[in-house]
Structure formats: C-alpha cells, structure tokens
Amino acid sequence: MVNPLLAQHELPVFSAIKPADIEPAIRELIERNKRKLETLLAARDDHDWDSLLQPLEAMEDELAQAWSPVSHLNSVCNSEALREAYNACLPLLSEYNTWLGQNEKLHSAYQTIADSTGFNQLSRAQQTSIEHALRDFRLSGVALPAAEKARYASLRQRLSELGSKFGENVLDATNAWSKEVTAQELTGLPETALASARQAAEQAGMSGYRINLEFPSYLPLMTYCDNRALREEVYTAFSTRASDKGPHAGKWDNSALIEETLALRQELAQLLGFDNYAQYSLATKMADSPEQVLGFLHELAEKSRPQALDEWRALCDFAQEEGADKLEAWDVTYYAEKLRQKRYQVSQEDIRPYLPVSRVLPGLFEVVRRLYGLEVRELADFDRYHEDLRLFDILQDGVPVARFYLDLYARAKKRGGAWMDDCRVRRFNADALQLPVAYLVCNFTAPVGDQPALLTHDELTTLFHEFGHGLHHMLTQQTVAAVSGINGVPWDAVELPSQFLENWCWEREALAFISGHHESGEPLPLSLLDRLLEARNFQAAMTMVRQLEFALFDFRLHLEWGTDEFRGVQQLLDEVRSQVAVVTPPDFNRFQNSFSHIFAGGYAAGYYSYKWAEVLSADAFSRFEEDGIFNRQTGTDFRSHILEAGGSEAPMKLFVAFRGREPSIEPLLRHSGIQ
C-alpha cells in the first residue's frame, strides 16, 4: 500500500494517515529533495527562475503538503503515537532546513540570479522572493565557518525540540486537571455552562458536573461562579500549569525549558552577529529597531495606564460595595462581569442565545459577500479526522478560488486557543493553478443535546479574527509560494487582516444579519444591541495594559537576556508589571510557563505585533467608517492592496496605497475609548 503522505492528493486524506507512515514519508521526501536539488545545481552555472527556483518551489511544496496534515493532526487530535512520530520528524526537518539555508551553492545561485540582467524581467513577486531568500540565507548562517555552521544547526534542532516539548507540557498539564462538582458548587453559572459541565461528566462516566481547564469551562466559571473557593482552586490550577507550583507542581514544569530556550536563542543571535535575539527577530519585521518597538509600547502604556488605574479603582470600590474584603486575582473577572451588568445591564450570556453558529456563519459569509463579492459554499463529502470538521469553498462568480476547513469546538487532546494555518498555498503546480486551502481552528463550547452551539460576543470576534487570517491566505493573487498568502508577510503586519475583520462584530448594520435567536430567529433586539455597544470599551484600558504587559515582557526578555542587568525571568515579569500593569497576580502565578505564543509559537520577541498591527487595522477600518462599512469600492481596494498582495511588497507601501498615508495611532485609541 502506498504511503498516503507520499501520494498526491488535492486535499489531505486524514483518515488514511497512520503514525507509522509519518517518519518514513518525511525522511524519504527530504532525501529525495536533497538529491533533486544537487542534480539541479550541478546541471548548469547560469541558473534562472525556470531552471532552478521553479522546481525547487515544487519540491518544497510537496514536502509541505505531507507535513501540513501531520502538524495539524498533532494539534487537533493529539495522541501518544502521533506525538512520538511528530517529534521524530522535528530534527529531520530542522536539519534539512538548515542544510538548505547554509547551502553555499544554492546561495550562490540565488545571488547569480539577483545580479543577472534577467532579474528585472521577473515579476515583483519573484523578485521579492529572491530578496527574502538572500536575507534568509544570511540569517541561516550561510557565511559562517564550518564549525559555527554546525553549531547553528544543532541550535536550530534543539530549539525546535524545546518548542514542541513546551507546547506538549502545556497541553498535558491542561488535560490533567479536572474536578467533579455538584450543582450547588456551581451556583451562578449560566445554563449553557452547566449543560456543558453535565455533558462532560456524562462523557467521562461521572455523575453530576465536570469542570476542567479548557477555556469553555474555565472562563464561565471564573466569570459567573459564586463559589469563591472554587474560583480560587480553578484559577490556581490554570495559572500554574506546566510549572513548579500548583496541583501538579513539577510534573510538566517548563521552567528549565524556558531558561534553555532563551540561552540558545541568544547564542544563535550572537552567532549571526546580532547583540541579542530581539535584534535578530526584527531583521524580518516592519519595525526597524528595538528602540522603536519599546518606544511604541511605552507610548501606548503612557496613554492607557492612567485610565486603566481609574478602571481598576472603580472595580475595587464596586467589589467592596458587594462585600469583598480584598479583590484577589480569582475575583477580578467575576466582579468585572457584575460591574458590567450593573452599568450596562448586559452580559455575554445575554448575547449568547442570539449567536448560534448556524446564524453566525452565514452572517460572516454575508459580510464577505458584501465586501468582496464572494460566496461561501459548504461541501459535504470529504475526508474528516473528526465529526466536527467542516469544509467550505470560497467562490468568485461561481468559480472556486479557495477552500477552508473549520474546526470550531473544544475537546480533549486538542490544543487550546484559536488559529489559522495553511494547508495548501496558491501557486502553479505543473501549469495548473493550485488553490489555497486554510485550516481555521477555534475552541468554542460544543452543542449540548438538542441545543445548538451558541457563541458569546467575545467568541464571535475570535471567529472573525481567524477568518480574517484565512482571507489573507485564501484571497492572495500571488502564485510564487514564498510570498503567496501569509508567506513572506512580516510578523508584525500579519495580524492586520485578522484584527481588521473584527470591526464588523460591532457594527449595527452587520449585527442585524449576523445575529438571530436560536429558537425564534429574532435579530439582536435594539435595546440589547445598544447596551452591548455601550459596553464595548468597558475596562478597555485595563485590557490594553494587560496586552502591553505581555508584549513588554516578551520583548525585554529577548533584549536583556544574558546582560548584567538581567536578574531572572520572574523578576523581569514582576518589573514589567510594576511599570504598566494595574492587576498584580499572586506570587504563585506562573503565566510565563504557559506562554506558548513565545515559547512554542512564532511570537518570540514579536508579541508586540498584536498591538503594532492593531494600529494598522484600526486606521484601515477608519476609511470604512468614512466611506461606509460595506462600500464595495473600499472593500475592493482593501482586497487589492492588502489581501491579494500577500508578501510581495513591503507592508508599509501596501498600507499607504490603501489608506493614502502612513498609519496613525489615534483610531486605535478612539476605538478603545482611551482619551
């Protein structure tokens, strides 16, 4: 039987992939690619796009198509056998990518093409991909002496292993904690959360109710549960995951992994001639320097913190009025929700009945139709890895231009959070156009019994956020893989389309068809909508400084590690909190030990990107506020200049082409209600 990962498929055949298939397939593809590339390099000296770079792209795409479903399955259907096979491939892929990045003959061939007279005849996308490749050769240590090249390779391999292990520890620590409780212990929880807890208990063969650390269980409990002792217990378990504290202290402790990761990142950066990893990170981003990033974050903090302090004092005063002697970390969300309800008479649970997935998805697709003239059509017959998985076509004038998988609900063995990843990239494959395909993943509360899945407004914005990423990948008009979709887009610009699409979740005209009661179909009542919009910026400054806390901690961690001034990871986090935070967590809190964005994802020295891109997205949306939120020409311009361009041009150039000027910070502050 042919290994399914070695056969060509339009879409992944998930059900046919077995853990035993994975390592042999990846190993064979890597070795095959190495042989092909060496043959191509030896064939001639006057390399050009068609003779070298086009076949190289095809080889890389074949490997990506094999690895993509494996990586995805490891995140959404994790098992011991799959994890073992996945981890076995990480050093193979790391070694291969280092081999490519340090291949002097390949680097020389790229440089020859860049220096040739034919370079100017290439498309802008082709030119940009070559320019990026030459930059990446330098960042891969192509010019290093042999011993340092070998050290770079070992650093890359070990960092890949550490990132994977960090994420596994967070997943295992999350899955390890659960508790069987009674209805009396859950007083205050809305019926939707109680129903999910009942269903979780039934699925586990328990009586009563079962709570855990997955977000659809954790957040309602912290928001609504009157049982303060239970809130404290759950908060403690959640905030100490994968650490030396809490109910599983030391079992999946990421502390040593954090220290080793930071040390190896610093060594890698210095090996390449940078002073620190923050400088290395910025070599591929919009921001020019560490000073620019820190100045940007401190400016936002300076403008936000006074209002955040006012919001915090108001919350403390309210909690005291409600009988709380002292506001602890496990009380903050609970009393914030009570204060929100007192001020605005609206809660997330009030909104939930009006946001069934069966209404929200068509509403989302209608937004896309009005903005870009696209249709979305669901497909019924395809290969699934889980019954929750759905597949859709995106059509332009009746013709499919892209596809996406949708995996909406939380479950055991599925990584938490929400994300978009690419399954297929838009490019020419044997003279045929390969359509882009995306994975869109969330962790919402699943349907319970006969009741459909109902979203909170926060979850609605999460769905729109990830679909914005998906549109960036799927609506690209590029056919050069290296700059197609999100490829080649600087990390601090990649959040622009995602944060941009969230704005429609707050617009009356859009909510009129996005919302609809799951029983009656009635749109969100005007009185409830008014209160929702009034509450939009409730504690917005507190939210702002919380994100700035994460961003400053991440960036300073990678800027200051190894210097004489650096006193430790926890000490730096405490210092950042003293400067910008208004909520100080308890000493046992180990937020950093589950900060997967920077230790198991791509955001190292780049978490600031969320706020950086939010400035871009708020300013981009301000043009829609001026022209009309469904103005087709404005939508066409955004699609043309931002979504279709992918990574083919510098993001500032693309933004200016759309907005007519460079971005301003003012729309973000205005949208956040920060004066």
Task: Cite the active site residues.
Answer: 466
* Spatial contact of 572 and 553, defined as CB atoms under 8 Å apart: yes
As a whole number of angstroms, the distance between CA 349 and CA 425 comes to 39
- From start to end of 37-121, where are the E strands? none
Distinct helix (H) and strand (E) counts, the chain: 26, 9
Strand partners, 390: 406
Alpha helices, H only, 507-608: 508-514, 526-534, 540-560, 569-580, 596-599
DSSP 523: P
As a whole number of angstroms, the distance between CA 605 and CA 551 comes to 8
As a whole number of angstroms, the distance between CA 125 and CA 114 comes to 13
Neighbouring residues of 526: CB distance < 8 A, sequence distance ≥ 6: none
Instruction: With CA atoms as reference, report the closest residue to 675 among 305, 381, 377, 335.
Output: 305
- Other C-beta atoms closer than 10 Å to the C-beta of 561 total 20
**172 is written with which tokens?**
């295992």
φ, ψ for residue 438 (rounded to 5)? -120, 150
- For 339-374, letters b (16+ CB in 10 Å) and e give bbeeebebbbbbbbbbbbbebbbebbbbbbebbbeb
Output 428-433 pairs: Cβ under 8 A, ≥24 positions apart.
428/479, 429/58, 429/61, 430/58, 433/479
Query: What SS3 class is residue 390?
Result: strand
* Spatial contact of 49 and 126, defined as CB atoms under 8 Å apart: yes
Helices 290-321, 569-580: inter-axial angle, 10-degree rounding: 70
Strand partners, 404: 392, 438
**CA 576 to centroid of chain Cα atoms:** 24
Tokens 């961003």 sit on residue: 551
Instruction: With CA atoms as reference, report the closest residue to 400 among 367, 426, 376.
Output: 376
Neighbouring residues of 560: CB distance < 8 A, sequence distance ≥ 6: 276, 566, 572
* Spatial contact of 81 and 23, defined as CB atoms under 8 Å apart: no
As a whole number of angstroms, the distance between CA 494 and CA 436 comes to 17
| Cβ-based burial of 6 (10 A; exposed 0-12, middle 13-18, buried ≥19) | middle
* Spatial contact of 83 and 168, defined as CB atoms under 8 Å apart: yes
* Spatial contact of 255 and 248, defined as CB atoms under 8 Å apart: no
* Spatial contact of 551 and 562, defined as CB atoms under 8 Å apart: no
DSSP 186: G
* Spatial contact of 520 and 227, defined as CB atoms under 8 Å apart: no
